[in-house]
Structure formats: structure tokens, C-alpha cells
């Protein structure tokens, strides 16, 4: 579901509109709070909201890319960093700020590797959002207080980085491979030549640093961060 509210910001940092913003969060009250927060720290021409990834992707179709996307990692139709990676493929020039109650170093690091321009813990005061936006406007990546930089790149971060390098078509082919489909079936589903599918599969395996389709599937599954996200009680 997409909602739109164009009320003026309370205390904007600038009087010049900087484009529209998209908030993606499945909790209505928190979504409304984020919308008000954005309007209070910057002048957006509009702030739209989406309660799932598919709604967010639909909101991005056929219009100019937003100036900013706020994304929660826990959505009903996506696991872990998949949502961030897919949003970045569709709006690659738009900075994405992850807003999450999960502030583990591994999650923050993975989000940044996957292309997030910033990470803000949920329930942060408005001043933190203002600071994050200012960092992004300067071309910097905003990292929350308490985040500890690691000098070593983890294996999981490397995996996320490789997945993020796939093109939209390669990502779609990998999804179909994960569903167990053969090249001929993928070619039919995507209305492309089987030789084109084979070329993409070769490129996918090269980018992921694997030797087989099975290994590619394991890499895709690992990047969903299932082992890092908190288990439901």
C-alpha cells in the first residue's frame, strides 16, 4: 500500500525542495513517525510510504528516482539484505538509509557493503536523522555511534558485495536458478535465447567466484543474513 502526504516540514534545514522521499516500513505508526521526521529535517517535495518491498518497487516505476529512501530490513516479503540490494538495482543513484532496531556490527557492515548510504538505529532522535542526511549530502556514509570499524572484510561481506555487483537481469536469472529452473525454462520465462541465459549464468558464477549453479544458490541463500538476524521467539 502506498500513501502520500504533502504537509510542509516543521523545521526544515533548507527551504529548497530536494526531491521526494520514500519510506519503506511495515509498521504504520513508525512509518508515520519517519514521514514526519523527514519533513522536519529537510524539505521534500513529497514523502511516500510503502509497507513492503514490492509496494516500494512499484512506487519507483515510471517516475524520477527519489532523493532518499528510508528502509527497514524486516519486511513481510523480503529477507535480510535482499530488499536493499533489489532497491539499489532499481534506484542505483538514490541514497538508502537503513533504519533498524538491529544494530549488530555485522548487520551494519553488511548493509553498508550492500550499498546503504547510512544506518540509523530505530527510535533515534530527529537530530540523528538530520545528521545522517547531512553526511550523505557531503558524499559520506553515515554510521551510528557505537559502530566499530573492522579492518578485515568478512566472508559474508564479500558475498554481499559480489551479489550487489549483479545486473538486474543477472539477479533475476539467479532467482530462477534458486527456484531450480533449467536454462531452457529460464529462457522461456524471460523471453530470451537459451544461449543468452548460458552467457549470463557464466557471468554470474564468475562474479560470485563459484564453479557451479549449486554453489551460486548457496551464495544467494547465505546473503539473506538468516544466521545474523534475530530468530523469532
Per-residue confidence (pLDDT) for residue 16, from 0 to 100: 62
Rounded Cα–Cα distance for residues 160 and 158 (Å): 5
Identify the bridge partners of residue 2 per DSSP, sorted by sequence position.
Answer: 50
**Cell triple for residue 43?**
524539505
Task: Determine the average pLDDT of the residues in 123-141.
Answer: 93
Q: Please give the order of strands across the beta sheet that includes 2-5.
A: 2-5, 47-50, 21-24, 68-71, 96-100, 118-121
Q: Say if CB 110 and CB 120 are below 8 A apart.
A: no
| pLDDT tens for each residue of 134-156 | 999 999 999 998 888 765 556 77
Q: Which CATH number fits domain 2-137: 3.20.20.70, 3.30.950.10, 3.60.20.10, 3.40.50.2300?
A: 3.40.50.2300
Task: Determine the average pLDDT of the residues in 89-104.
Answer: 90
- Band of residue 96 on the pLDDT scale cut at 50, 70, 90: very high
Question: pTM, whole model, 2 decimals?
Answer: 0.74
For the ranges 16-20, 161-165, 210-214, the lowest mean pLDDT is seen at 16-20
Per-residue confidence (pLDDT) for residue 195, from 0 to 100: 94
| From-to residues of CATH 3.40.50.2300 in the chain | 2-137
In angstroms, the Cα distances linking 22 to 25, 88, 96, 131 are 10, 13, 9, 18
Q: Say if CB 97 and CB 68 are below 8 A apart.
A: yes
| pLDDT tens for each residue of 165-221 | 888 889 889 989 998 999 999 999 999 999 999 999 999 999 999 999 999 988 887
Per-residue confidence (pLDDT) for residue 233, from 0 to 100: 35
- Band of residue 13 on the pLDDT scale cut at 50, 70, 90: very low
Pairing of strands 68-71, 96-100: parallel
**Cell triple for residue 125?**
532522535
Domain 165-222, CATH = 1.10.10.10
Per-residue confidence (pLDDT) for residue 227, from 0 to 100: 39
Say if residue 77's pLDDT is above 60: yes
Say if residue 11's pLDDT is above 70: no
| From-to residues of CATH 1.10.10.10 in the chain | 165-222
Amino acid at each position: 500500500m502506498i500513501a502520500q502526504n504533502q504537509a510542509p516540514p516543521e523545521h526544515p534545514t533548507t527551504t529548497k525542495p530536494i526531491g521526494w522521499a520514500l519510506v519503506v516500513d511495515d509498521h504504520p505508526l513508525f512509518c508515520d513517525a519517519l514521514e514526519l521526521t523527514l519533513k522536519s529535517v529537510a524539505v521534500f517535495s513529497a514523502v511516500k510510504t510503502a509497507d513492503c518491498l514490492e509496494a516500494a518497487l512499484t512506487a519507483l516505476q515510471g517516475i524520477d528516482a527519489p532523493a532518499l529512501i528510508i528502509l527497514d530490513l524486516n519486511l513481510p516479503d523480503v529477507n535480510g539484505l535482499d530488499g536493499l540490494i533489489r532497491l539499489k538495482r532499481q534506484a542505483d543513484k538514490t541514497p538508502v538509509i537503513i533504519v533498524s532496531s538491529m544494530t549488530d556490527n555485522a548487520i551494519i557492515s553488511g548493509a553498508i557493503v550492500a550499498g546503504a548510504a547510512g544506518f540509523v538505529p530505530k527510535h533515534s532522535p530527529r537530530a540523528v536523522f538530520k545528521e545522517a542526511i547531512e553526511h550523505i549530502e557531503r558524499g559520506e556514509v553515515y554510521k551510528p555511534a557505537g559502530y566499530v570499524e573492522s579492518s578485515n572484510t568478512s566472508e559474508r561481506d564479500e558475498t554481499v558485495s559480489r551479489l550487489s555487483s549483479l545486473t538486474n537481469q543477472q539477479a533475476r536469472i539467479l532467482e530462477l536458478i534458486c527456484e531450480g529452473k533449467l536454462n531452457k525454462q529460464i529462457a522461456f520465462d524471460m523471453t530470451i535465447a537459451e544461449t543468452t541465459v548460458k552467457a549470463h549464468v557464466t557471468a554470474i558464477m564468475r562474479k560470485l567466484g563459484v564453479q557451479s549453479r549449486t554453489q551460486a544458490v548457496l551464495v544467494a541463500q547465505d546473503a539473506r543474513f538468516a544466521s545474523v538476524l534475530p530468530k523469532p521467539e
